[in-house]
A and B are shown apart, each in its own frame.
Chain A
Amino acid sequence: MKRRRVVITGMGWITPLGDNIESVWQGLLSGASGIGATTRFDASTFPTTFSAEVKNFDLARYLGSDTEIHQTASLNTRFALAAARMAWDNANLSGYPDLDPTRVGVYLGGGEGPIDFDNFTAAAVNGWDRQANNGAGDLDARRWVEVAAARLTAVTEFEQDPNMAAGHIACLFNAQGPSLNTLTACAASTQAIGEATHVIRRGDADVIISGGTHSMLHPFGVTGFNRLTALSTRNDAPTTASRPFDRTRDGFVLGEGAAIVILEDYEHARQRGATCHAEISGFGSTADAFRVTDMHDEGRGGLAAIALALKDAGLKPEDIDYISAHGTSTEENDKIESRAILRALGDSAPQVPVSSIKSMMGHLIAAAGATEVIASVLTIRDGIIPPTTNYEQPDPNCPLDYVPNKPRKANVRTVLSNSFGFGGQNDTLIIRKIED
């Protein structure tokens, strides 16, 4: 029996470079940067004082009269709702009367919502008993809850759960089919799109609203990454701080946003006359099973994910025209990813252009992979590859062609897109031009 094919029929995103598919794409091609001083909170004394924020976001611009009931959702859920609205409209699904809602699903890589910071810290400080534990201090839960119960609210707490974006989206579009959320760190939305592809292939749904959303641009998020020394600290030059594969890279730049794609069974899409932007033709997922703190030195898991994706797509390494890299601008990722690509593609590796839009957009964590899928679709559509910006000094550990600083025209039929998450989560998608 022939396997069902899965295509992308709608796209929408909320990114640090804007919200419009075409204008953000033009920004990526012109080397624009979405990175600047952090304004969401006072980060002036943090090791990293800059980030890639979504600017002037207003849910009402996207949801209109539907805004009110979704307004209390956490920021990541609101990003997802806006991107999903754009993707749904782009897929022209509202105008399709025969849509079976029980066969429309949601599969997101959605992050948790930000903690209610001011109230949380007030309770924590109040609950800390300095004298306890022989002066070492201890939490006094009774003192803590006095403040916490008075200041934390049910809605804000409830909306932090990572499955909330999926819940809101299912309601907005009456999507009654399978609803799932995966949270495999920085690989989440790539994984969501890959897993959703399987859900459609096996016939459990015809349409799936997929992609990812995340905002860790809050004090605890930045604290966590700063403590891991994962963020760039190039505070004097934010727009050049994200420099994937450059020898002087010093960490990633934290971004936020959402990217949503409508995945659809190809026959279903054709029957309703939908525009099919590209096909998801392969997916590979693996675990490094090595360490939670480091990637496997030989890129074992990444290599296996690439190989599995190629096998799933029925393609050979030489069929890959472009690689949309995870390329975070950390010392470790860019080195290991390059190594995995070299080993997976073998002789054809040096000829394949590789670039990372994180150089311009920052790292959207759970949402990153889905932004890269959309950029890959546009690359195929327009025959032009977005550059890796801020690439100045080659790194001997990164010996590939990184499309430095300028976009490049190329006939791209097949893109391989990688996402690697903390703890050794590796996911690779293959996105193809639709050819019958």
Chain B
Amino acid sequence: MNSRRVVITGLGLVTPLGIGAEATWNGLLEGKNGISNIEPFDPSGFKARIAGQITQMKTADFVPKTYRKSVKIMARDIEIAVVASYLAVKDAGLVTKCILDRKEADGPVSVDPSRFGANIGAGLICADLTELAGALASAVNEQGTFDIRRWGREGMSNLTPLWLLKFLPNMLSCHVTIVHDAQAPSNTITCAEASSHLAIGEAFRTITRGDADVCICGGAESKLNPMGLLRQELLGRLSRSNDPGTACRPFDIAHDGTVISEGGGLLILEELEHAKARGANIYAELVGFGASSNTHNWHTPDPQGRGIALAIRKALKDAEVDADSIDMLATFGTGIVEHDQSEARGVRTVLGARAGEIPAMAIKGAIGNNGAGSGAIDLAVAALCLKNNTIPPAANVLNIDPQCAFKVVTGKPMTAPINAVLSVAYALGGGQNAALVMKKLES
């Protein structure tokens, strides 16, 4: 019944391995590691002192000149999304308002603004602690403790009037839609680590049902700040190791937690005929989406991965693909023992023995946990696997945990014909699960 087919025509990645999908892809193939000792603040008081970090990102270089001043009201998460949006649009060869404003093409735009949508996943954006602490410290009483009456009277005026707008999760989508003039349906999914998959799945549906021809979708997040790091520490999600080269080891027998990171991915989804008409490069066709919720509780993974299994079943059914046709897994593997095991069991519930026979990609060892941006990075890399019939090796995976019996590609890139990829994602807290299926485009 779905006569409108949806393809991926552009990838924009900003990860600790570099700016651009190519930098991330090549970094993964070469076995580079994006985890390093935390630089932006002094981590010496924290148990975990390493992170995936994006260096040398100058957001102002990726927006039109007239928009440069807006960068100062963007939280880091928003900046990452805005940079990724430019990269995705360029990669897709689209001409948007941004491209015209930057004088990188002559008009007209190649996508009608009223048919150009956005759906961008976001996390709980941390307030800039330096800015906020400075303002709060201006409202202390004689004993040196915070005094809310002083705050109301004078302290709060030390914050810029637009302070709130820096941290609203929908500002990722708002800045991106403004820069590129995308006026069609716009949404912001805030389901922690499942956000990107849900945003991409919903954008897929938006195009299928005819409400847009092109959608920019995915997610971005930065937990690289004292509050982001402490929250993950309090929640017991982080590896005890501070060795950047080995700390995050998804599905490995020695996995003991994840590593915080920052990054994001935005994809250009496009209706097939629209893409063909403009001669676009097509990475893959998105063919299935499934979502589900855990219901045993909202704070620990389901040991059997039942919710993950349900999302996969729904996605396969939606794709009209049987489990035996899936020939690559894009795992979510964060390196947290209970989550890795839950994921493996969930996948095995649906794919059976095949779950341990087809090659599996696991990239968080090299880039850490990018929160709401994770899933889009996974999906973009998986699209490159499809395109290149190559799977990059997972960093830090030496011996697979027998409870996570995936055939994770390790050591060096693996070449294999890949036709259909299953990608899963789940919120580490909150219970949301999602799965996406993509295939090589068949004419």
A397: chain B residues at CB < 8 Å are none
The answer to whether A145 and B230 have CB atoms under 8 Å apart is yes
The answer to whether B298 and A164 have CB atoms under 8 Å apart is yes
> Which residues 175-209 in A have Cβ within 8 Å of B in the complex?
175-185, 191, 195, 198, 202, 204
> Which residues 106-131 in A have Cβ within 8 Å of B in the complex?
106, 110, 112, 121-122, 124-125, 127-128, 130
The answer to whether B293 and A124 have CB atoms under 8 Å apart is no
Chain B residues touching A, majority SS = mixed
B113: chain A residues at CB < 8 Å are 289
What's the tally of chain A residues with a CB closer than 8 Å to chain B?
Answer: 93
8 Å CB contact of B162 from A177, A195, A293:
A293
> Which residues 14-46 in B have Cβ within 8 Å of A in the complex?
41-46
> Which residues 408-424 in A have Cβ within 8 Å of B in the complex?
421-424
| A134–B294 CA distance with the chains assembled, in angstroms | 52
> Which residues 228-284 in B have Cβ within 8 Å of A in the complex?
230-231, 233-236
| A153–B299 CA distance with the chains assembled, in angstroms | 14
| A344–B41 CA distance with the chains assembled, in angstroms | 51
- The answer to whether the Cβ of B222 comes within 8 Å of any Cβ in the partner chain is no
Given A154-B234, A424-B177, the answer on whether A179 and B202 have CB atoms closer than 8 Å is no
- For chain B, which range describes its interface: under 10, 10 to 19, 20 to 34, or 35 or more residues? 35 or more
> Which residues 136-181 in A have Cβ within 8 Å of B in the complex?
137-146, 148-149, 152-154, 157-158, 160-164, 166-168, 170-171, 174-181
The answer to whether B185 and A286 have CB atoms under 8 Å apart is yes
The answer to whether B293 and A423 have CB atoms under 8 Å apart is no
The answer to whether A228 and B234 have CB atoms under 8 Å apart is no
B310: chain A residues at CB < 8 Å are 102, 176
8 Å CB contact of A180 from B177, B202, B295:
B202
The answer to whether B427 and A163 have CB atoms under 8 Å apart is yes
- Distance in Å: Cβ of B110 to nearest Cβ of chain A: 16
Given A157-B231, A161-B124, the answer on whether A1 and B189 have CB atoms closer than 8 Å is no
The answer to whether B430 and A122 have CB atoms under 8 Å apart is no
B188: chain A residues at CB < 8 Å are 182-184
The answer to whether A184 and B314 have CB atoms under 8 Å apart is no
8 Å CB contact of A227 from B140, B160, B192, B198:
B160
| A287–B153 CA distance with the chains assembled, in angstroms | 36
- The answer to whether the Cβ of A224 comes within 8 Å of any Cβ in the partner chain is yes
- The answer to whether the Cβ of A229 comes within 8 Å of any Cβ in the partner chain is yes
| Nearest-CB residue, chain B, relative to A172 | B295
Given A166-B432, A182-B187, A184-B187, the answer on whether A142 and B44 have CB atoms closer than 8 Å is yes
Given A130-B137, A184-B170, the answer on whether A228 and B230 have CB atoms closer than 8 Å is no
- The answer to whether the Cβ of A379 comes within 8 Å of any Cβ in the partner chain is no
Q: Which of A37-45, A321-329, A356-364 contacts B (4 or more CB under 8 A)?
A: A37-45
8 Å CB contact of A125 from B127, B146, B184, B299:
B146
B190: chain A residues at CB < 8 Å are 110, 161-163, 181-183
- Distance in Å: Cβ of A421 to nearest Cβ of chain B: 7
The answer to whether B173 and A171 have CB atoms under 8 Å apart is no
> Which residues 387-442 in B have Cβ within 8 Å of A in the complex?
427, 429-432
The answer to whether A289 and B198 have CB atoms under 8 Å apart is no
| Nearest-CB residue, chain B, relative to A175 | B293
A204: chain B residues at CB < 8 Å are 291, 314
| A143–B307 CA distance with the chains assembled, in angstroms | 41
> Which residues 109-147 in B have Cβ within 8 Å of A in the complex?
113-114, 117-118, 122, 124, 127, 129-130, 132-134, 136-137, 140, 144-146
A167: chain B residues at CB < 8 Å are 293-294, 298-299, 427, 429-432
**Residue with the greatest number of chain B CB neighbours at <10 A, chosen from A128, A158, A163:** A163
- The answer to whether the Cβ of A53 comes within 8 Å of any Cβ in the partner chain is no
| A142–B46 CA distance with the chains assembled, in angstroms | 8
Given A141-B41, A144-B226, the answer on whether A423 and B170 have CB atoms closer than 8 Å is yes
A304: chain B residues at CB < 8 Å are 114, 183
- Distance in Å: Cβ of B434 to nearest Cβ of chain A: 8
- Distance in Å: Cβ of A81 to nearest Cβ of chain B: 11
The answer to whether A183 and B169 have CB atoms under 8 Å apart is yes
8 Å CB contact of B163 from A160, A191, A224, A422:
A224
- The answer to whether the Cβ of B186 comes within 8 Å of any Cβ in the partner chain is yes
The answer to whether A171 and B298 have CB atoms under 8 Å apart is yes
- Distance in Å: Cβ of A50 to nearest Cβ of chain B: 13
Chain A residues touching B, majority SS = mixed
The answer to whether A287 and B149 have CB atoms under 8 Å apart is no
- The answer to whether the Cβ of B152 comes within 8 Å of any Cβ in the partner chain is yes
- Distance in Å: Cβ of B64 to nearest Cβ of chain A: 13
| Nearest-CB residue, chain B, relative to A168 | B298
| Nearest-CB residue, chain A, relative to B432 | A179
The answer to whether B293 and A176 have CB atoms under 8 Å apart is yes
The answer to whether B156 and A223 have CB atoms under 8 Å apart is yes
| A182–B43 CA distance with the chains assembled, in angstroms | 33
- The answer to whether the Cβ of B73 comes within 8 Å of any Cβ in the partner chain is yes
The answer to whether B293 and A287 have CB atoms under 8 Å apart is no
| A145–B227 CA distance with the chains assembled, in angstroms | 9
8 Å CB contact of A219 from B148, B307, B314:
B148
| A424–B175 CA distance with the chains assembled, in angstroms | 10
The answer to whether B178 and A166 have CB atoms under 8 Å apart is no
- Distance in Å: Cβ of B175 to nearest Cβ of chain A: 7
The answer to whether A166 and B295 have CB atoms under 8 Å apart is no
| A410–B140 CA distance with the chains assembled, in angstroms | 56
B353: chain A residues at CB < 8 Å are none
Residues of A bordering B, CB below 8 Å: 1, 41-47, 69, 101-102, 105-106, 110, 112, 121-122, 124-125, 127-128, 130, 137-146, 148-149, 152-154, 157-158, 160-164, 166-168, 170-171, 174-185, 191, 195, 198, 202, 204, 219-220, 223-229, 285-293, 300-301, 304, 308, 421-425
A-B contact sample (15 more), CB < 8 A, given A44-B149, A178-B291: A42-B148, A47-B152, A101-B295, A124-B136, A128-B133, A168-B298, A177-B292, A179-B293, A180-B432, A198-B205, A219-B148, A287-B185, A289-B177, A292-B73, A424-B174
Q: Which 10 residue pairs across A and B have the least CB separation, nearest first? A: A224-B164, A423-B174, A167-B298, A45-B152, A179-B293, A128-B137, A178-B291, A287-B186, A163-B430, A170-B293
Residues of B bordering A, CB below 8 Å: 1, 41-46, 70, 73, 113-114, 117-118, 122, 124, 127, 129-130, 132-134, 136-137, 140, 144-146, 148-153, 156-157, 159-165, 168-171, 173-175, 177-178, 180-192, 194, 198, 202, 205, 209, 211, 226-227, 230-231, 233-236, 291-299, 307, 310, 314, 427, 429-432
29 A/B residue pairs, CB under 8 Å, sorted by A? A43-B152, A45-B151, A69-B297, A105-B291, A112-B124, A122-B145, A124-B146, A127-B226, A143-B45, A145-B226, A161-B192, A163-B192, A166-B432, A170-B298, A171-B431, A175-B293, A176-B310, A179-B432, A180-B291, A181-B191, A198-B205, A227-B161, A285-B186, A289-B181, A422-B165, A423-B170, A423-B171, A424-B174, A425-B173
